[in-house]
Amino acid sequence: MSATIVVGGFYGDEGKGKITAYLGLKDDYSIAVRVGSVNAGHTVVYGGRRWKLRLIPSAFINPNTRLRLALGSLIRLDVLWRELEETKCSGRLRIDYRAGVIEQRHREQELRDEFLVKVVGTTGQGVGAAMADRVMRKLKLAKDYAELRGYIGDVVGELLEAVERGEKILLEGTQGFYLSLLHGEYPYVTSRDTTASAVLSEAGLGPKHAGEIIVVFKSYVTRVGGGPLPGELSEEEAAKRGWLEIATVTGRKRRAAPFNYELARRAVRVNSATQIAVTKLDVLFPKAKGKRRWEELPVEARNWIERVEEELKTPVTLIGTGEEVLDTIDRRREVYGP
């Protein structure tokens, strides 16, 4: 069995947490792995509760799934302890012993950098500074912390053995394609690559381990921080359309623009997407809210999804119609058969 990879197609905030949580529930993966770091928040709404996760894999809501943080991850101990308490999944979590650890000095270093703060719009979480230390071979790793002793292990070895046994693995990417250090609009980018290829690398798996690659788009585009945003709306217009959002990690207002087919097309091509997920369809088409069957969607919403498929030459298999994880239309059987 191979790994399913979930990545973002725009500038982050596409709803990867919701889609990953849904897949975790419906497909019953043996292992869910999160890459990236604390500068990206994934929101999961399920059973009347809301979690804003910056480290724990969103598939934690399936109690049978083993949870792992990848060797390419950067963790912050205060965030880790808080999320373990909130999710009650301490017994299921393991961290690769080579994962990096962000220290307070990394946060302070970023917040002193005027270019990062005023131009790029850093989240100030210390991720970039810690990545720089990793490149310079100065970063402390999870294995160096006594308080992590009960959590660390060889996650890469475990994943390789799981793949060889035919187990199902879910890899949760963070941020979005156009925030990639390599593919994004430099210098208005994050400190790592965010593509499906990079997710595999951060988890410690190789190209032949990739199975389904799901690129997630929101029904409109949002962005936090500096950098270009084609078709950007005024804050007033975004609010009028219901597109004005607050970022999970920073609490900043997100800039907004209409769905961009040109940007989406490149994200699909570079990530080698096999499927597309679209979230917040109910924001674009309010009558779609809470629908869980394709036939229940208003005609204009179905027409819009079909245009996305036509423009991007890739099937839209998962459609989010509300915040709740299960407010999702799953078209995979329709597309691929039983």
Chain segment 274-299, per-residue pLDDT in tens: 999 999 999 999 999 999 999 999 99
Question: Which pLDDT does position 98 carry in this prediction?
Answer: 98
Alpha-carbon gap, residue 58 to 65, rounded angstroms? 11
Share of the chain above pLDDT 90, in %: 91
Asked whether the predicted pLDDT for residue 312 surpasses 90, the reply is yes
Phi first, then psi, for residue 237 (nearest 5°) are -70, -40
Rg (CA), the chain: 19
Q: Are residues 275 and 210 in contact, defined by beta-carbon separation less than 8 angstroms?
A: no
Asked whether the predicted pLDDT for residue 251 surpasses 80, the reply is no
Question: Which pLDDT does position 216 carry in this prediction?
Answer: 98
Per-residue b or e along 270-283, where b marks 16 or more CB atoms closer than 10 Å to that residue's CB? bbebbbbbbbbbbb
Domain 3-73+154-336 CATH assignment equals 3.40.440.10: yes
- 13 is a catalytic site residue: yes
Given the residues 27, 28, 42, 96, select the one marked as catalytic.
42
Cβ neighbours around 333 below 10 Å, total: 9
Share of the chain above pLDDT 70, in %: 99
Q: Give the global pTM.
A: 0.96
Given the residues 13, 193, 282, 330, select the one marked as catalytic.
13
Beta bridge partners of 325: none
